[in-house]
Amino acid sequence: MKLFGNNIDPFSEFTINLGPAYISRLFEMLLIKKGVADVHKLSYSDRLQKYIDLLETNNQKGNHTKRAIICFYLAHFNHQLADNLSESKIKYYEKAIYHYQSYLKLTKGAEQSKFYAQWQVGMLLDYLQYPWAAAQDELLKARTIDLCRGEAIKKIIDHYLSTEEWPIAYLFSSYSIEHFYDRNPIASRCWYVDFNCYNWKVLDTQIQVCCKTGKYKEAETVYQELLNYVLEHLYDFNLPAINYIHSIGNSFPYTGNMAATKLSKTNYIKQALH
């Protein structure tokens, strides 16, 4: 618990990069120090609003770094608050975008939080139905900030899957395979790592777009890699997931050799899980 002692600086790059769970706990402690009674009894939305109120009273105080990090916290807490409201969400999302953008203009370091802020600007622009070109531009900027993170590219892929623009989806999906597959950065990143950007789901997406673009031979190769992945991470899967993966092989034509390999591997996997 030493990190919650009097010597911790809430407005340092070290602190901000400890991640969202730590930040929430830290602000609970700050409210307690400010004399707010029964913080643990407040609803999550009420706590978030008190965090925001606390930050807004300090928004113009301190040095450049402190003001930048206050902007990030304001963005993050407004974002979280919007996620937890049933109405009046849009105004808080708009505030979050404003503060994320302010943080991005002010910050000179803090790579984890900088990536997250840039990524969320793109996500929120799309959610609020701004032109897709604007959202994609922000997401591509996020990619350049942290080369280990695939979440911004995943959002772009998901967009082109939803609009059925298969050739573009294929380009971004291929890029994701090359740069993110089986390279989960969770050991060194704290801000909402999405495991599906790095695990077998990346292969699943590539198979889908290969089939939609007529690249059946490549789909077969990727499916073979998917089966190998399952065998190597067998106990990360349940039977419904295995059944789904088994069914993928029926979605495209493959050679007789591939059919035999598919049958033997998936049967072995099912037996191992029983």
185-207 mean pLDDT = 94
Q: Residues 73, 55: contact at Cβ < 8 Å? A: yes
Average of per-residue pLDDT values in the chain: 86
DSSP codes joined into one string, 137-194: HHHHHHHHH-TT--HHHHHHHHHHHHTT-HHHHHHHHHHHHHHTTT---TTT--S---
What is the Cα 12 distance to its own chain's centre? 23
pLDDT band at 250 (very low <50, low <70, confident <90, very high): confident
pLDDT at 1 over 50: no
pLDDT at 257 over 70: no
What is the Cα 171 distance to its own chain's centre? 20
DSSP conformational letter for 214: T
Q: How far apart are CA 109 and CA 201, in angstroms?
A: 32
Name the residue ranges covered by the structural domains of the chain: 1-108
pLDDT at 94 over 70: yes
Tell which residue, 49, 69, 50, has the closest CA to residue 59: 69
pLDDT at 201 over 90: yes
Q: How many CB atoms lie within 10 A of CB 42?
A: 16
44-68 mean pLDDT = 81
What is the Cα 61 distance to its own chain's centre? 31
Residues 221, 222, 223, 225: is their CA dihedral positive or negative? Answer: positive
The span from the first CA to the last CA of the chain, in angstroms, equals: 44
pLDDT band at 60 (very low <50, low <70, confident <90, very high): low
Place of tokens 């294929």: 170
pTM: 0.86
